Chain A
Amino acid sequence: MEGQEIPYVLIDCVGGKHGVYEDHAELLKKHFHLITMKEYLENKEFLGKKIRAIYLWYHKPVINEELLQSLPNLKIVASSGVGIDHLDLNLLSSYGVKVSNTPFVVSSDTADLGMALMLASSRRLVEGHQIAVSPDTEYFPADWLGTEVSGATLGIVGMGTIGYKVAQRAKAFEMKILYHNRNRRNEEEESAVGATYCKRIDDLLQQSDFVLLSVTLTPQTHKLIGKRELKLMKPTATLINVSRGLVVDQDALVEALQTNIIKAAALDVTYPEPLPRDHPLLKLKNVIITPHIGSATKKTRRLMMENMMESIQAGLTGLPIPNEVFL
């Protein structure tokens, strides 16, 4: 029995391009004995038995069978963000390890980014900025136009927490809102945002000016949007992705954008991230790509850290785990 000893928690590293933020580590150290992968590897025998939790920040450290075997007292993996497609839930379950994520804190920021991408794409904001600052610009042409968001039709594919928040925001722009989801939302929820359910995704695709993807990545949603779905979309439509790169058949998307089957795309996520520097998506004029920043705000990342800390503490004291992910 370890009694009141503060728990040993494994992290990848602190600072640098993908490590736990310095200021986050300060708070975490008040509650946990943080062990970096480097420290662990240098002292596997002793630390392996001590480590009872893994603080998984942006998919690191990588969890495989070898690691699980060397951490006999591991109880919980707290994963940052809402997506858990990078974890083998079956494997973890077989070792009796619980998993938590941070679904709700990321939802507002991700919905905000979805709206930001839709507005930036339709109003050609990135292009416009380039014109405004380009050394070659002599005047602003009068025939340079975008298209309106207000009053247009938005089709939301995946009406979970994030999708619903997108609907709440879009409603204020007097958008007509269609949605497609595994399950239909109840009447109150639908009428609160003025959303119409499309049982068939085809109906949504054919009627929407903007199609926004906010599903989780699962075997069922893998390549959900492929050649067929893109063809069903209006030639004047824009595809926005704030879910995961693999929800879209990327090659089919490139072709659709090159041949004007759809008008434009705005992607916060791709597969892989970043894309190889010679990828055709990077060269297309009618695409904007952001570097997976759906939850990239100071406040939200801090809340994520706090959530993860809570989940670990609950998991280690045998209490119900907030944001537990079940198989």
Chain B
Amino acid sequence: MFRSKAVSLLKEIPLMSGQSNLAYKFIHPAIASHGHRCHRRSVDYRHRYKACPGSVGGQTISASPTKVMAEEELPGVLILAIGGTHGVLENLASLLKKHFHLVTMKEFLENKKEMSKKIQSIFVFEGRPTIDRELLESLPNLKVIGNSGVGVDHLDLKIISNFGVKVTNTPHAVADSTADLGMALMLASARRLVEGCHIAVSPDTKYFAVDWLGVEVTRATLGIIGMGNIGYKVAERARAFNMRILYHNRHQRRKEEEEAVGAHYCEKIEDLLQQSDFVMLVVNLTPETHKLIGKKELGLMKPTATLINISRGGVIDQDALVEALQNKVIRAAALDVTYPEPLPRDHPLLKLSNIIITPHIGTATVQAIHMMAEEAIANMLAVLNGKLIPSEVFPK
């Protein structure tokens, strides 16, 4: 059930590509229900959307009346499936159907000849369907792959680009929920929340020991590695806990941005690692960030420090992490992501007491899932309609 907060409204005119007077407006008004005032969040979202790279000032064109198109005339979008364990959620499928002719992998494989020409886009949800050369070769009219989520490490951008297909992601929709989860993991780990719950409900518990302690978050030092959209939102939240914020990033942020959250730039990651009580990884997974945190980096961290990962499992050398946790080189870890997901059931990480693992739920909220689909739809339609693409991802 949606609460009264900013939910985007996609006013689209799903026309054939080529028509020049297309109008679409990706707006994010607050839903004023029961007299609630317009929420600040919606304004920020519009501002960020305008300012995102590639959108050239984000011209919003006023919407013209919607034409209702027959389903077959809508551009085809390929998805893995609707529902089931890995399929697109039912309500997201309904959203897609407003603008696309939905084709599932099953339907495609059963009728390749006819379907292959219809498919102009692919909606990749939770990393599926897998995009390989064979699939790309069988879709001559494919123009865009719209990824739900911001990480695209599961996509071979070079190969896709060679086929003249564009790739888009959803950086705006994921930011709040992922930053929230980063904070949740940091707090849960510091205060030993999962352990505490077990004690509170265990049949063996007779009393609560008074010397059972966690570590403080307020006024501790947080080192953010990767200060993009999500990293910055983590900083905004951490600042309210009076945390001292250090960050390491490919580029230093502008002074005003740093000052707004009280963040100090560490050009050398070593400085950040040595001074932080909490180290949070918020980078993309690229060849440069693969195993960014290994034995050396873990050794530089304080023995009282906690490592939090909300980026990708591949950013950490997992074997080195196991060793570091077993030997108390660092105090604890909290991971929303691992490699693979799920981990094999006999993996040593699952047996450690100083670790929290969550099943990649950074964007697993009713609101975020919906917003991601909307952002992906807007991006795909922009490509198909020859308009400015809000979030295109380019190969290196």
Residue positions of A touching B, CB distance < 8 A? 17-19, 21, 57-58, 108-109, 111-113, 115-117, 119-120, 122-126, 128-129, 131-133, 135, 137-153, 168-174, 176, 207, 209, 236, 273-275, 277, 282, 288-293, 296-301
Q: A115-B187, A119-B180, A174-B40 are in contact. Are A296 and B193 (CB under 8 A)?
A: no
CA A168 to CA B218, docked complex, whole Å: 12
Q: Is the CB of A301 within 8 A of B213?
A: yes
Q: Is the CB of B216 within 8 A of A129?
A: no
Q: Is the CB of A277 within 8 A of B216?
A: no
B358 interfacial by beta-carbon distance below 8 Å: yes
Q: Is the CB of A142 within 8 A of B85?
A: yes
Q: Is the CB of B41 within 8 A of A123?
A: no
**Minimum CB–CB distance for B236 against chain A, Å:** 5
Interface residues of B in 169-223 (CB under 8 A from A): 176-177, 179-181, 183-185, 187-188, 190-194, 196-197, 199-201, 203, 205-219
B240 interfacial by beta-carbon distance below 8 Å: yes
Q: Is the CB of A132 within 8 A of B210?
A: no
**Minimum CB–CB distance for B361 against chain A, Å:** 6
Q: Is the CB of A133 within 8 A of B350?
A: yes
Q: Is the CB of A176 within 8 A of B176?
A: no
Residue positions of B touching A, CB distance < 8 A? 1, 3-6, 34, 36, 39-41, 44, 83, 85-87, 89, 125-126, 176-177, 179-181, 183-185, 187-188, 190-194, 196-197, 199-201, 203, 205-219, 236-242, 341-343, 345, 350, 356-361, 364-369
Q: Which of B181, B192, B238, B345 contacts A135 (CB 8 A)?
A: B345
Secondary structure at the B interface, as helix, strand, loop or mixed, is: loop
Q: What residue of chain B has the Cβ atom nearest to residue A263's Cβ?
A: B1
CA A186 to CA B307, docked complex, whole Å: 40
**Minimum CB–CB distance for A248 against chain B, Å:** 16
Q: Is the CB of B240 within 8 A of A139?
A: no
Q: Is the CB of B210 within 8 A of A57?
A: yes
Q: Is the CB of A123 within 8 A of B365?
A: yes
Excluding A120-B193, A148-B5, A290-B200, 18 further A-B contacts by CB distance (< 8 Å) are A19-B210, A57-B210, A115-B183, A116-B191, A119-B187, A128-B361, A129-B356, A132-B350, A140-B360, A148-B176, A152-B3, A172-B240, A176-B36, A209-B3, A236-B1, A274-B207, A289-B201, A296-B212
Q: Is the CB of A236 within 8 A of B181?
A: no
Q: Which of A146, A153, A290 contacts B197 (CB 8 A)?
A: A290
Q: Which of B39, B196, B242 contacts A291 (CB 8 A)?
A: B196
Q: Is the CB of B208 within 8 A of A273?
A: yes
- Which residues of chain B have C-beta atoms less than 8 A from A124's C-beta? 361
Q: What residue of chain A has the Cβ atom nearest to residue B371's Cβ?
A: A148
Q: Is the CB of B342 within 8 A of A293?
A: no
- Which residues of chain A have C-beta atoms less than 8 A from B215's C-beta? 297-299
CA A142 to CA B39, docked complex, whole Å: 29
